[in-house]
Each structure stands twice: as C-alpha cells, then as structure tokens.
C-alpha cells in the first residue's frame, strides 16, 4: 500500500488543532487512546484480584514483578517484529496472546491453581505492544518534515500517558470492587483488543515496515546507552515517589488519600505536558534535556521539604503537584532524543527500550523507596526520588561533556 507523503499540519493557531488536521490522525488517535487506557488498569487489577483471593500482597507483588521482568525481555522483541513486519500484522496477534494470558491468570486465581501458575500466566501478558510507542511512531512518520508539529505530538502523547495512568487505576478499583475481582483484568483485556483493532485498522497512517533494512541495534546507537541509563534513573523517581507517598499517608492515618494525592502529581505533569507542546523550545534537544532534568531535580526536593517541615499530607499535596510539572517536559524531550538517536527502521524497538528502562527504574525505585520508608522513615524516604533525579541529571551532564570532548564540539542531536 502506498504511504502518504509527510504533510505538514495546516497552520491553525492552536498547535493541537493543527495535529488533527493531518489525514487519519483523529482515527488512529481514538483507537490508540482506547487501547492505552487499560494499560494503567492491569497491575492494580492483578494486585486486587490476587491479594483478595490468596490473602497475600507478597504473592501479588511477586506476580506483577514477574510480569515486569517478562516485559523487559519480550517488549523489545515484539517491537522489533513490528518494525520489520508492520504494526497491524504483529500488534494484533501479540495483543491477543496477552489477552489469553490475562484470561489464564483470572482462571488460575478463580480455581485456586498453584502460585507458580499465576506467575506463568501473568508473564504471558508481556507480549502487549508498547501502545504509546506505536502512536509516537505514526506521528514521527507523518510529521518527519515538521519538527514543531512533532514536538507538539510528543507532548500530546505524554499528556495522554499521564491521563490514562490517572484514570486506569481508578477504573480498575471500581470494576474489581463493584463487579467481581476478575473484572478489571477481563474487561481491561477486551477493551485493549478493541482499541488495538480500531488503531491498526487505520492502515494509511501506518509507517512502512523495515523488512530487509539493516541497521545498528538501538541500544548500541550513539548516545542511546547514557539516555537509557538516564531513563532508568527517571523511572526510579516515579517508583520511589509512589511507594514513599503511600507510606507517608499511612503513617499519618490517611492511607485512603494516598491515591488522590498521587493523582495530583500526574495532573501537574499532564498540564505541564500540554503547555510544553504549545511552546517552541529553542536550542539543541540534548541541552534542553539537561535543563529539564535540572528542573525536575530541583522540584523533587519540594515533597521532601514539605514532609520534613510540616509533616502534613495537606502540604505534601501541592508539593507533589509542583514536582509533577517537570515530569512531562523531561519525558517529551527524552522521547524526542530517542526518536533522533534510534537508527532508521527500528523506531518502535528504540522507544520500547526506553519504556523498558523506565519500567526497570520504577521497579528499582519502588524497592529502594520501600526500604527507605521502612528502615529510615516515610519522611526521609522522600530523599530517594530527589537523589534519583539528581543521578539522571549527572548522567546527562556527563554524556554531554564526554561527547563535546570527543568531537571538539557539541554532540550532534
């Protein structure tokens, strides 16, 4: 099928309005948003279902950790197949396999199967494609000659991520508690498949497959290893902040408010992401990435200061809202760098590696933040996300200096 030429978005005053004048953009975006919403449901649904049936949060955590480890292995492999053979040809069957994994998990829990079967079933869901990456790949293909519009598209996608991860857990809790424990997993799987079918049906906007194209593996591409390390540290910011905030709320007798308070952080990130998409940042992307990380490092100290000086959840809430405002610009800029540094024909794989690094960081941050909250104090636990953000900044600054020293100039972006 012939691919459309990259048509710059029409010159509307609203940058987001310009995006959706691109032929086919609205249709694939609707399908992608439908498919993306359940991604924020699955882990919460699994924890509620397993802990409720087996009475063990430790088992629920082990099962979800197994799924995360499986995703780190299977995710880049699925993305590589998508790059080679096309989104529709690979993403739909991969999603169907993941849906069968969710069904198997529900049956194993319902019929009291051995614990190891839960891990095996949940690991099968790791074939779920990187749905946000599929959408970003389409934008990169359609807007490859319009960097300003692509910046706006990446900002929109980041805001969509934040929105789905705000709504997904709320929907999961509602379904699992109001209907039946397996409802979140089963209904989420059906919605995922429906959205994926809607998304992949839009063939005119699908990037062409790169079968036969020989390119360097994304993790070996220049500039990618330090970028992935930085994303690993950034993921630790997210994972540790979530666990420490829950521990802090629990210690002050307000555990039920931990969810709404954490949602403020996501809301701040969503709002900042949409605003960032309207702006036209100047200068090299690599330099902007360093400045975004510097802002995130500074703002991540606010929850620590609020917790230490007041010890109040009421003062922590606005601190988290402000801290979240640096998240989306950092992620938008990081994904722009991933798109530029990934070899041609392997974009889905490159972005999936970035998401895998983030998820690995979330797991490490959750473990570290939980240890700090338990062995130090919930208040001192807020040191972990601040240190993780500073580590991400050091990695970016170190790479920037090394690149300038090796080339005698700024590293090419």
pLDDT of 217 higher than 80: no
Examine the pLDDT at 377 and tell me if it is beyond 50: yes
Among 212, 231, 261, the domain boundary falls at 212
Residue listed under structure tokens 């601190």: 319
Q: What does the H/E/C string look like for the chain?
A: CCCCCCCCCCCCCCHHHHHCCCCCHHHHHHHHHHHHHHHHCHHHHHHHHHHHHHCCHHHHHHHHHHHHHHHHHHHHHHHHHHHHHCHHHHHHHHHHHHHHHHHHHHHHHHCCCCHHHHHHHHHHHHHCCCHHHHHHHHHHHHCCCCHHHHHHHHHHHHHHHHHHHHHHHHHHHHHHHHCCCCHHHHHHHHHHHHHHHHHHCCHHHCCCCCCCCCCCCHHHCCCHHHHHHHHHHHHHHHHHHHHHHHHHHHHCCCHHHHHHHHHHHHHHHHHHHHHHHHCCCCCCHHHHHHHHHHHHHHHCHHHHHHHHHCCCHHHHHHHHHHHHCCHHHHHHHHHHHHHHHCCCCCHHHHHHHHHHHHHHHHHHHHHHHHHHHHHCCHHHHCHHHHHHHHHHHHHHHHHHHHHHHHHCCCCCC
335 and 207 share one domain = no
Q: Tell me: do 381 and 412 sit in the same domain.
A: yes
Q: How confident is the model at residue 406 (pLDDT cuts 50, 70, 90)?
A: low
At 12, is the pLDDT very low, low, confident or very high (cuts 50, 70, 90)? low
Tokens of 167: 């709504």
Listed in sequence order, the residues at least 6 apart from 309 whose beta carbon sits closer than 8 Å to its beta carbon are 315
- pLDDT reading at 314 higher than 70: yes
Rank 222-231, 238-247, 277-286 by mean pLDDT and report only the highest. 222-231
Which of 205-219, 262-276, 308-322 is most confident?
308-322
CB 160 within 8 A of CB 103: no
**Does 289 have pLDDT greater than 50?**
yes
pLDDT at 160 over 70: yes
| Contact call for residues 6 and 142 (beta carbons, < 8 A) | yes
- Span 121-150, average pLDDT: 87
398 and 314, same structural domain? yes
What's the first-to-final CA gap in the chain, in angstroms? 32
Q: Does the structure show a pLDDT above 60 at 258?
A: yes
Q: What is the pLDDT of residues 340-351, one digit of tens each?
A: 888 877 777 887
**Closest residue by Cα to residue 227 from 377, 368, 397:** 397
The length of the chain, given as a count of residues: 413
Does residue 16 have a pLDDT over 60? yes
103-117, 130-144, 363-377: which is most confident: 103-117
pLDDT of residue 404: 64
Is residue 302 within 8 Å of residue 322, measured between CB atoms? yes
User: How many structural domains is the chain composed of?
Assistant: 2
Domain encompassing residue 181: 1-212
* CATH code of the domain covering residue 320: 1.20.1250.20
- pLDDT for res 2: 46
Does 246 lie in the same domain as 121?
no
The domain boundary residue, chosen from 212, 235, 265: 212
pLDDT value of residue 216: 67
Lowest-confidence segment of 44-58, 71-85, 149-163, 195-209 by average pLDDT: 44-58
Mean pLDDT of 192-196: 93
Q: Is 324 in contact with 159 (CB distance < 8 Å)?
A: no
Q: What is the distance, to the nearest Å, from the Cα of residue 135 to the centroid of all Cα atoms in its chain?
A: 13
What is the average pLDDT across 74-93?
Answer: 87
Same domain, 127 and 254: no
**Same domain? 251 vs 321:** yes
Amino acid 409: pLDDT: 46
Looking at the structure, do residues 184 and 246 belong to the same domain, yes or no?
A: no
Query: Is the same domain home to 172 and 70?
Result: yes
Are 46 and 73 members of one domain? Answer: yes
How much is the average pLDDT of 6-15?
57
Model's pTM, two decimal places?
Answer: 0.76
Averaged pLDDT of the chain: 83
**Does residue 405 carry a pLDDT above 70?**
no
| Residues 335 and 400 placed together within one structural domain of the fold | yes
Can you tell me the distance from the alpha carbon of 194 to that of 34, in angstroms, rounded to the nearest whole number? 8
Q: Do residues 255 and 374 share a domain? A: yes
Whether the per-residue pLDDT at 301 is higher than 90: the answer is yes
d(CA 137, CA 55): 42
pLDDT over threshold 60, residue 5: no
Among 175, 192, 212, residue at a domain's last position: 212
pLDDT number for residue 193: 93
> Are 164 and 32 part of one and the same domain?
yes
pLDDT at 211: 65
Residue 198 banded pLDDT, cuts 50, 70, 90: very high
* Average pLDDT estimate for 270-282: 79
């Amino acid at each position: 099928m012939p691919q459309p030429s990259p048509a710059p978005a029409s010159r509307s005053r609203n940058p987001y309005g310009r995006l959706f004048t691109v032929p086919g953009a609205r249709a694939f975006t609707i399908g992608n948003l439908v498919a993306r919403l359940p991604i924020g449901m699955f882990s919460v649904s699994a924890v509620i279902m397993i802990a409720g049936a087996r009475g063990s949060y430790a088992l629920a955590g082990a099962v979800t950790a197994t799924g995360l480890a499986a995703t780190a292995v299977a995710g880049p492999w699925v993305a590589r197949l998508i790059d080679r053979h096309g989104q529709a040809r690979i993403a739909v069957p991969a999603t169907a396999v993941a849906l069968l994994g969710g069904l198997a998990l529900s049956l194993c829990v319902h019929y009291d199967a051995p614990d190891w079967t839960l891990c095996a079933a949940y690991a099968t869901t790791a074939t779920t494609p990187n749905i946000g990456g599929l959408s970003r790949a389409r934008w990169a293909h359609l807007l490859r000659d319009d960097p300003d519009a692509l910046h706006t598209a990446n900002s929109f996608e980041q805001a969509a991520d934040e929105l789905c991860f705000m709504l997904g857990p709320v929907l999961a809790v509602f379904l699992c508690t109001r209907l039946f424990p397996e409802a979140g997993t089963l209904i989420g799987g059906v919605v995922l498949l429906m959205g994926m079918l809607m998304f992949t049906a839009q063939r005119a906007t699908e990037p062409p497959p790169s079968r036969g194209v020989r390119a360097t593996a994304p993790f070996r591409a220049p500039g990618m290893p330090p970028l992935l390390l930085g994303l690993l540290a950034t993921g630790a910011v997210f994972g540790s902040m979530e666990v420490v905030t829950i521990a802090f709320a629990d210690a002050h007798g307000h555990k039920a408010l931990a969810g709404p308070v954490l949602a403020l952080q996501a809301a701040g990130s969503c709002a900042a992401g949409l605003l960032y998409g309207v702006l036209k940042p100047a200068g090299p992307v690599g330099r902007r990435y360093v400045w975004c990380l510097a802002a995130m490092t500074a703002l991540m100290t606010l929850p620590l200061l609020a917790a230490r000086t007041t010890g109040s959840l009421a003062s922590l809430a606005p601190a988290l809202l402000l801290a979240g405002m640096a998240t989306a610009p950092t992620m938008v800029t990081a994904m722009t760098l991933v798109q530029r540094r990934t070899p041609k024909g392997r974009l889905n794989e490159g972005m999936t590696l970035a998401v895998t690094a983030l998820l690995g960081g979330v797991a490490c941050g959750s473990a570290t933040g939980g240890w700090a909250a338990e062995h130090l104090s919930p208040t001192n636990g807020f040191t972990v996300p601040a240190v993780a953000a500073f580590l991400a900044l050091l990695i970016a600054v170190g790479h920037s200096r090394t690149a300038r020293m090796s080339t005698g100039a700024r590293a090419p972006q």
